[in-house]
């Protein structure tokens, strides 16, 4: 089926095929890595913007 899809895209040819393979391999590795991150690390990193050591000005804004 994939082959039919490629054939229907005019001039896609080998350039397109190579490009798709490069991306799919790259994307698959990326997803695997993302899944493998420890939950605690991911939570710590996602909190980084909240931890900027300038609480005084935050309090002024929130007051």
What's the closest the beta carbon of residue 50 comes to another protein, in angstroms? Answer: 6
Asked whether position 1 contacts another protein by CB under 8 A, the answer is: no
Distance, in Å, from the CA atom of 57 to the CA atom of 54, rounded to the nearest integer, reads 6
Backbone angles phi, psi at 34, to 5 degrees: -60, -40
How far is C-alpha 7 from the geometric centre of its chain's CA atoms?
29
The residues, ordered by sequence, that sit 6+ positions from 12 with a Cβ below 8 Å of its Cβ are 6
What's the closest the beta carbon of residue 4 comes to another protein, in angstroms? Answer: 14
Asked whether position 20 contacts another protein by CB under 8 A, the answer is: yes
- Binding residues for another protein, per CB under 8 A? 9-13, 15-16, 18-20, 22-23, 26-27, 30-31, 33-37, 41-43, 45-50, 52-54, 57-58, 60-61, 63
């Amino acid at each position: 089926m994939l082959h039919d899809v490629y054939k229907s895209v005019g001039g896609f040819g080998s350039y397109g095929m190579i490009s798709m393979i490069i991306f799919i391999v790259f994307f698959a590795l990326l997803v695997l890595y993302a899944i493998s991150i420890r939950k605690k690390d991911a939570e710590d990193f996602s909190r980084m913007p909240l931890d900027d050591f300038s609480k005084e000005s935050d309090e002024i804004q929130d007051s």
